[in-house]
Structure 1
Amino acid sequence: MNGTIFTLRNLYRDGTVCLEKTGIPDAKLDAWYLLEYETKISRAMFLADPDKEVEKDKAEHYRKDIAIRAQRIPLQHITGEQEFMGLDFKVNEHVLIPRQDTETLVEEALKKIRPGMQILDMCTGSGCILESILKFAERKEICVSGTGCDISEEALKVAKENDSRLQTGAVFIQGDLFENIAETYDMIVSNPPYIRTEEINRLEEEVKLHDPWIALDGKEDGLYFYRLIVKESVKHIKKGGYLLFETGFDQGKDVSALLEEQGYEEIQIKKDLAGLDRVVMGRYNKE
């Protein structure tokens, strides 16, 4: 820094160098996002006047943000937000950070949406899946209703804040899976914990140290919650109803087999943008 003068160029440069030295993936991108977050400057404005002076308090906030990110604290825990399906969601340490892979689940659910459907989002977390489905259905003028369920009270606080932002009218229930679920639904969606326990410590620090363990751990083989949800789902799904899961890239066949065992039909595996198995879905046609 030159004395007490802070410019956009110098802040961004120093932020990038700091993150690169500490081995942060995508250091330049994260340094930019934090600069944009603290100064509210656009890329075009930066390019037009990179030597624009930044107020001291904003510069200091930026430098503190960089120092926090350098400790491998997720970017989204610093800004408190993450974009998903083009919508802005509040996030914190109590919920999984929404990831682009999960958009595949929302997109497949939206293909099945029909007027009047009742939707259950099991293990709702931040509510991003349910809220996105409801919001996009609303944009298509399709009237549906949604309920989100999670064991974590803190996660549900986040989900409720996101509902207040998006005004979808979702209902949220605390409980261990179907423990407090009394209704039946036309569609059940879920992104349950599915990482094998032994694999969690091999994940990047941002995930294994800062995402809630309860939202990651799928027990020994990663299929623990799929088994429970599929088995219990048949008591809470209407005839002709759909069950849709996000899965790990190598779990598609195993989860499909679980659905088939419980009487689901029309079972499909859908791939994400990277060409990896990401969604397993089936339809329940029994009475």
Structure 2
Amino acid sequence: MTLREAWNLGKKRLTAAEVPDADLDAWYLLEWCTGVSRSHYLAYPDEIISHDQEEQYRASLVKRERRIPLQQITGEQEFMGLSFYVNEHVLIPRQDTEILVEETAKFLRDGMQFLDLCTGSGCILLSLLHLKPGVEGTGVDLSPEALKVAEKNRERLGAKAALIQSDLFDKIESAFDVIVSNPPYIKRAEIETLMDEVRLHEPYMALDGHEDGLYFYRKIAEEAPKYLRAGGGLFLEIGCDQGACVAELLRQQGFADVKVVKDLAGLDRVVEGFNR
């Protein structure tokens, strides 16, 4: 099978399976299986791929036809310019979350300590440590499987970070200058309406914000003041329709200078406030 034949096969099969961006996904899988760049393909489209590469490509197409996310097939996702390992036990890092990292990084100074709740793959924790090498970071997650992914990313990025299995603050004993979190925030009834890639293949516990989507924000807002030093910052990613509600939760718990930050699309994305 040539490169051209392989890509055409992938495009045909993924289109028939109604996979979004079928042509692009077929190319990404071909690139992943063969290591061939787009420029190489354009120069040598009739180059023969090996039997092993063809078998791997066909197997990857089967997975994508089943709506397994591309990133779970390849095991890779870029975030903040870094490459993270991902699998079915963690949410796939999304570009929207880069806003949370950027806002948190503005506040962090050398010598500060921060806590990343619901760390998942560790993408927020490890990106902040990469951006701010003079700070110390701790990641917390309830899922032992997610923490194994974070451990792997910590090793591959050569970062120093503590990882703790805990239900939010349950196992936390010290105070921090910053608490950051991208908690589960989708309303339970809405999870079944999500695209198959998310609904069927990303971890339910990382999506489920309970009935109104605000369960974890309430818990974090209530408990965070006990674990934040005076003047410390709380930074939370939110759903695009949750800005006003989450901001009010922080104000009710005595946080000062509460504000909502929009993403590049102009949608509410981050709520931040500061411990008095």
TM superposition shift of 1:190: 0.2
Give the Cα–Cα distance (whole angstroms) in 1 for the partners of residues 9 and 43 of structure 2.
19
SS in 2 for 1:20: helix
Question: How far off is 1:137 after superposition?
Answer: 1.2
Q: What is the match of residue 3 of structure 1?
A: none
Note the alpha carbon deviations across 1:139-172, whole angstroms, 9 max, x for none: xxxx100000010011001001100011120100
* Residues 196-222 of structure 1 deviation map (CA, whole Å, 9 limit, x = unaligned): 000000000110111110000000100
TM-score if structure 1 supplies the norm length?
0.95
Does residue 159 (structure 1) correspond to residue 156 (structure 2)? The answer is no
What is the TM-score when the length of structure 2 is the normalising length?
0.99
Number of the residue aligned with 1:135: 130
Q: Distance in 1 between matches of 2:161 and 2:170?
A: 19
After TM superposition, list the pairs within 5 Å mapping 1:112-261 onto structure 2: 112-138=107-133, 143-261=134-252
Q: Distance in 1 between matches of 2:36 and 2:206?
A: 34
CA distance in 1, matches of 2:59, 2:171: 43
1:107-129 CA-partner distances (Å, limit 9, x unpaired)? 11111111111010000001000
Pairwise CA distance, 1:195 = 0.1
Code of the aligned partner of 2:250? L
* Equivalent pairs, count: 276
SS at match of 2:233: strand
> Of 52, 61, 69, which aligns to 1:57?
52
Structure 2: distance between partners of 1:28 and 1:269: 37
Give the C-alpha shift of residue 43 in structure 1.
1.1
Instruction: Give the superposition deviation at 1:96.
Output: 0.5
1:22-51: CA deviation from partner (whole Å, max 9, x where unpaired): 110111111111111111111111111111
Q: Percent identity?
A: 57
Letter of the 2:42 partner, please give it: L
Taking the aligned partners of 2:41 and 2:127, their CA distance within structure 1 comes to 32
Name the CA distance, whole Å, in 1 between partners of 2:237 and 2:45.
Answer: 42
Gaps of 5+ in 1: 1-5
2:217 is aligned with what amino acid?
Answer: Y
Q: Partner residue of 1:48?
A: 43
